[in-house]
């Protein structure tokens, strides 16, 4: 035998020399769910280990993980019923939960990257990401007007990046133009480019306490059977001025990450979503899988596919696994 591939695996030093991909703690974006009020931490049943925080408690939790090396977080609101409406007007309330959180976080942690979703599902009474007609149709262009207002409020509060997750057509261009014309040309846009209509978002909807009142998200999120749509969205989001592109979910869609990384000229990331996190927790709690190793392998597979940043709820496990 002239070629013995096992020579390159014969000891830890050789294996380290030839390792092609690494997961670093600064690749990770930790998602947080926020609630109004004071002094409350509510564990989320379907996301073991993850909780909803009031802002005072959020600061304490973020201080701890930030000091250990987490550099970026994403924030999502879990609002009471009375803050949700057909018009989703709480989405652009300058004194709302999200802008208040952004201001507080940026004051306490100037070197923390704060990201917020741009989408209406936490704010509509029916749980869709957009405004709807009386017949229940999701209204693209009307929704964009609200998304623009939501993005401007977040930018004014000092957010580092807005992440439109709504999947309306043309929203990246509209948000980019509005941000620029209001003096927020340094606010980053992370576009949810290939957001699939996935069964894996279940625990997230529980976390933000939304349930679709009617229909499904198939007229705006992508069909899990398709990849061409993702490539078209890649082209559009790039042309419309996105700074980074996102694939979601992550591990069932590694082929999408890989293809998009090949064709695009800007960074690709992935959202390792609530269902991907919860499946591993469930299996590990039954002794079926090793929690830390399984998460690490999942996140490393995203890096191998071409993702450079990853939203994941497994940030505490990765702090431990990576020795922080």
Identified binder of ligand PBG from the candidate list 132, 165, 193, 301, rule CB under 6 A: 165
Asked if 172 touches ligand PBG (CB under 6 A), the answer is no
For ligand PBG, the closer of residues 145 and 182 by Cβ is 145
What stretch of H or E contains 278?
helix 274-285
Instruction: Rule CB under 6 A: choose which of 27, 90, 121, 233 binds ligand PBG.
Output: 121
Phi/psi of residue 275, nearest 5 degrees: -65, -35
Binding mask 45-84 for ligand PBG (x = CB under 6 A): ----------------------------------------
What is the pairing mode between strands 41-43 and 51-53? antiparallel
Given the complex with ligand PBG, which of 273 and 305 has the nearer CB atom? 273
> Quick one: which of 90, 117, 160, 237 contacts ligand PBG (CB under 6 A)?
117
Which pair of tokens denotes residue 2?
């002239």
Task: Give 223's DSSP letter.
Answer: P
Task: Please report how close the Cβ of residue 150 comes to ligand PBG at its closest, in angstroms.
Answer: 12
Give whichever of 42 and 182 is closer to ligand PBG, judged by the CB atom: 42
Among 28, 57, 124, 129, binds ligand PBG (CB under 6 A): 129
C-alpha pair distances (Å), 116 with each of 30, 203, 293: 11, 19, 29
Give whichever of 27 and 121 is closer to ligand PBG, judged by the CB atom. Answer: 121
Please name the residues in contact with 112: beta carbons below 8 A apart, sequence gap of 6 or more. Answer: 62, 66, 71, 72, 73, 105, 106
DSSP, residue by residue, 100-158: HHHHHHHHH-TTSEEEEEE-STTTBSS--SS-B-TT--B-HHHHHHHHHHHHHHHHHHT
Minimum Å gap between C-beta 211 and ligand PBG is 11
Q: Does 204 bind ligand PBG (CB under 6 A)?
A: yes
3-state SS assignment for residue 162 = strand
Asked if 274 touches ligand PBG (CB under 6 A), the answer is yes
Give the list of residues 6+ apart from residue 191 with CB closer than 8 angstroms, or none.
163, 164, 172, 237, 240, 242, 244, 245, 246
Question: Should residue 175 be labelled a site residue for ligand PBG when binding is judged by CB under 6 A?
Answer: no
Q: Which stretch binds ligand PBG (CB under 6 A): 88-96, 102-110, 147-155, 200-208?
A: 200-208
Contacting residues toward ligand PBG, per CB under 6 A: 117, 119, 121, 129, 165-166, 201, 204-205, 271, 273-274
């Amino acid at each position: 035998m002239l070629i013995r591939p096992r020579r390159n695996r014969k000891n830890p030093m050789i294996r380290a020399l030839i390792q092609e991909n690494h997961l670093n703690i600064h690749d990770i974006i930790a998602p947080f769910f926020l609630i109004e009020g004071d002094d409350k931490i509510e564990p989320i049943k379907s996301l073991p280990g993850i909780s909803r925080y009031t802002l005072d408690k959020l600061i304490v939790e973020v201080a701890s993980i930030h000091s250990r090396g987490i550099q970026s977080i994403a924030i999502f609101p879990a609002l009471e019923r009375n803050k949700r409406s057909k018009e989703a007007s709480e989405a652009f309330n300058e004194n709302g939960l999200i802008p208040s959180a952004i201001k507080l976080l940026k004051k306490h942690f100037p070197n923390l990257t704060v990201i917020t979703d741009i989408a209406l599902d936490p704010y509509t009474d029916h749980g869709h990401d957009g405004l709807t007609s009386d017949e229940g149709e999701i209204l693209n262009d009307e929704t964009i007007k609200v998304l623009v207002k939501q993005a401007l409020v977040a930018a004014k509060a000092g957010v580092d990046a807005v992440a439109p997750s709504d999947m309306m057509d043309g929203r990246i261009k509209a948000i980019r133009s509005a941000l620029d014309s209001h003096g927020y040309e340094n606010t980053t846009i992370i576009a949810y480019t290939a957001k699939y209509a996935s069964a894996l978002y279940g625990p997230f909807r529980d976390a933000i306490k939304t349930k679709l009142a009617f229909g499904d998200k198939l007229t705006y999120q992508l069909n899990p059977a398709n990849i061409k749509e993702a490539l078209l969205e890649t082209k559009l989001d790039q042309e419309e001025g996105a700074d980074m592109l996102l694939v979601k979910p992550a591990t069932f869609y590694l082929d999408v990450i890989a293809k998009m990384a090949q064709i695009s000229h800007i960074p690709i990331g992935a959202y390792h979503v609530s269902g991907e996190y919860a499946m591993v927790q469930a299996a590990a709690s039954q002794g079926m899988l090793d929690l830390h190793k399984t998460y690490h392998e999942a996140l490393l597979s995203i890096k191998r596919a071409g993702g450079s940043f990853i939203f994941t709820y497994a940030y505490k496990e990765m702090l431990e696994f990576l020795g922080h």
